[in-house]
Amino acid sequence: MPERSLEAPIPVQEKPKPVQDRPQNPARRSFLKGLAGLAGLAAIGQIPDTPRNIPAPEAENKEKVFGEPKLTIVDVDPNIPNERLVKQALGEKFILKDQLRAEFGEDYKNKWSEIGQKYPEALMYAFVEKYFTHGKDVSAVTEDIWKRIGLGNKKARLIPLQTILDQQSVKTIKDSEENPGVSVNFDPQKVIDILKDDPNQVVNMSFQVGNVDLYAVTHRQKELLGAPSEEMLLEDDEGNYYPGARSISVENNQKVYLNEKGEKVAPVSPEDYQKRQEQERGVKETLTTSTKIEGAYSKDKAKENLPKLFEVCKAYPDKLFVAAAGNEGEDLREALKQIEKPNNLLLVGQWSVYNVEGSTAELPTHRVHGTDVYVNNSALQVPDGSSFSTPVISAYASSLLSRGLPIEAAIKAIKAASTVRIYHANSEAREILALVLNPDKLTSK
């Protein structure tokens, strides 16, 4: 997760303890009271100055009288076979797994880059397998949170996201390094259509709307053959090597490197020395493949795809949508300056507690900025990723709505149940506010 900084901290090896509310003095209480008036903190990083004295929403009523939670998860259904789904998405370009085994061996799943060069469409198998249990896992988190809140053994409704995929949904792509990939489009109108008869008030969108890309990346690793030279190798302060040098002298206030005959030895850069070693000893090159995901809201794609999510939310103003922000360093703040976010949407990220050089730092996981609320997954013992932070908020929101709260009041209650954290992003001098859900709120006590 190079030079260590608060933006690339080293995770604590021990499991972080649950984040607790900080002791509050009167100024702190006044500060927290300002959260309700911050327009939902739609762009957390864009508040020009840290407010210190604005009044807070009323504390949540502790008497919990729940009705039936009404929540729908739009996600991948593991009950739909992978091969059937890939065939549905690829049409005439469909390739059987048996063909991949015959051409690339039983371990074909370790050769996605090679497969992608010949049959780029076949990378849909890698995409589907990566997310095969996604909906099941999101449902499990939702149901676990309901139990903690005191709602008992409830089951979430899962609408299969696969039903909207067709041959127009998938296209082959390449990244800047010519790695092959597939781009899968989760079309907003099709999402709107599958929600047409949905009776529930809360919709969990752990899967992003818009274009989600998967690439098969080739990694080349070189291993030097033969035994390394036992000769002494001197190195100067700039990192240059002096092969064959045995001593150092000073000439005109400069260090001079000499061989055993007293002759000067010319410097060799690290790159040139490595090439010499490869030529003398020989090299064994190993190729490995991995897959990487570029989410719909990452980098410049946020301006293109966030409006697609907003389109779905606006189609159902009486539903509360809770959506995952991503795990790829997304920064939604700039996009949210230019696009008006619907009032019935909460964007959710994951929060982490890190140990940096002996001190504790709290930051958005994977440097994802600009969400409405964060969840410390580790404190709640749920899987890593904003996909699993999101059902924590969805489950909590559905419990609030089951008590008769309107959407606006439920959103305010979620923010009132969160703790303010202040951090810095990259080289920004400005303080950034983040709301992190207090895990103590997710109990039946």
**Inside any domain, residue 89:** yes
CB-neighbour burial class of residue 181 (10 A; exposed 0-12, middle 13-18, buried 19+): buried
Give the least confident one: 10-19, 85-94, 386-395, 397-406: 10-19
Single pTM value for the model: 0.73
Closest CA to 379 of 388, 368, 370, 371: 388
One domain, residues 301 and 273: no
One domain, residues 254 and 328: no
- Residue 16 banded pLDDT, cuts 50, 70, 90: very low
Name the domain boundary from 281, 307, 326: 281
Token digits of residue 48 = 């020009």
One domain, residues 205 and 251: no
If you average pLDDT over each of 64-68, 128-132, 281-285, which comes out highest?
128-132
Mean local confidence (pLDDT), 197-201:
95
CATH number, domain of 45, equals: 3.40.50
DSSP state for residue 18 in the 8-state scheme: P
One domain, residues 145 and 240: no
Is residue 414 helix, strand or coil? helix
One domain, residues 117 and 160: yes
- Residue 82 banded pLDDT, cuts 50, 70, 90: confident
- Residue 194 banded pLDDT, cuts 50, 70, 90: very high
The fraction of the chain above a pLDDT of 70, given in percent, is 83
Mean local confidence (pLDDT), 303-314:
97
Mean local confidence (pLDDT), 319-323:
98
Token digits of residue 133 = 């249990």
- At 401 the pLDDT is 94
- At 5 the pLDDT is 35
- At 71 the pLDDT is 96
Closest CA to 359 of 10, 2, 24: 10
One domain, residues 251 and 380: no
One-letter amino acid at 98 equals D
Closest CA to 301 of 208, 382, 228: 208
One domain, residues 113 and 233: no
- At 209 the pLDDT is 96
Distance CA 73, CA 160 (A): 9
pLDDT tens column, 86-143: 999 999 999 999 999 999 999 999 899 999 999 999 999 999 999 989 999 999 999 9
**Inside any domain, residue 13:** no
One domain, residues 88 and 192: yes
If you average pLDDT over each of 1-5, 77-81, 185-189, which comes out highest?
185-189
Is a pLDDT exceeding 80 seen at residue 218?
Answer: yes
Is a pLDDT exceeding 70 seen at residue 379?
Answer: yes
**Inside any domain, residue 288:** no
**Inside any domain, residue 16:** no
Q: If DSSP states are collapsed to H, E and C, what string results for 232-256?
A: CEEECCCCCEEECCCEEEEECCEEE
Name the domain boundary from 242, 259, 281: 281
- At 62 the pLDDT is 38
- Residue 66 banded pLDDT, cuts 50, 70, 90: low
One domain, residues 126 and 145: yes
pLDDT tens column, 255-276: 999 998 999 999 999 999 888 8
One domain, residues 187 and 311: yes
One domain, residues 184 and 264: no
β strands within 77-165, DSSP E: 157-160
Is a pLDDT exceeding 90 seen at residue 375?
Answer: yes
Closest CA to 316 of 204, 157, 198: 198
Token digits of residue 381 = 């013992």
> 42 and 338 in contact (C-beta within 8 Å)?
no
- At 299 the pLDDT is 77
- Residue 302 banded pLDDT, cuts 50, 70, 90: very high
Closest CA to 127 of 169, 183, 87: 183
- At 65 the pLDDT is 58
- At 429 the pLDDT is 62
**Inside any domain, residue 9:** no
The mean pLDDT of the chain is 83
Say how many residues make up the chain.
445
Query: Could you identify the residue written with the tokens 């091969």?
Result: 83
**Inside any domain, residue 308:** yes
**Inside any domain, residue 286:** no
- Is the model more confident about 362 or about 305? 305
State the total domains in the chain.
2
One domain, residues 263 and 303: no
| Structural domain harbouring 262 | 226-281
Mean local confidence (pLDDT), 229-242:
84
Name the domain boundary from 281, 301, 328: 281
**Inside any domain, residue 12:** no
- At 160 the pLDDT is 94
- Residue 289 banded pLDDT, cuts 50, 70, 90: confident
